[in-house]
Amino acid sequence: MQYINIDRVLTFEGEDTKSFLDSLISNEFVEEKVVPSFLLFPDGKINYWFLTELKGGVVKIYQENEVLLNIKKTFEKYKIRIKCEIEIKDIDSTLKINTETFEVEFDSNFKADNPLTWNELSLNTELPTLDTIKNGLLPNETKWLLTFLNFEKGCFLGQEPVSRVNFRGRPRRKLITNDQGLQEFIKI
Q: What is the pLDDT of residue 88?
A: 98
> CA 75 to CA 126: how far, in whole Å?
25
> CA 38 to CA 115: how far, in whole Å?
23
Q: Is the pLDDT of residue 157 over 90?
A: yes
pTM of the model: 0.92
Between 39 and 188, the more confident residue is 39
Kindly state the average pLDDT of the residues 115-135.
Answer: 91
Contacts of 81 (CB under 8 A, 6+ apart): none
**DSSP-assigned states of every residue in the chain:** -EEEEEEEEEEEESTTHHHHHHTTBSS---BT-EEEEEEE-TTS-EEEEEEEEEETTEEEEE--HHHHHHHHHHHHHH-SS---EEEEEEEEEEEEEETTTTEEEE-TT---SSPPPHHHHHHHHTPPPHHHHHT---GGGSTTHHHH--TTS---TTHHHHHHHHHH---SEEEEE-TTS-EEEEE-
Kindly state the average pLDDT of the residues 164-169.
Answer: 90
Q: What is the pLDDT of residue 170?
A: 85
pLDDT digits (tens, 9 = 90+) for 58-103: 999 999 999 999 999 999 999 999 999 999 999 988 999 998 899 9
* Mean pLDDT for all residues in the chain: 92
pLDDT digits (tens, 9 = 90+) for 4-51: 999 999 999 999 999 999 999 999 999 989 999 999 999 999 999 999
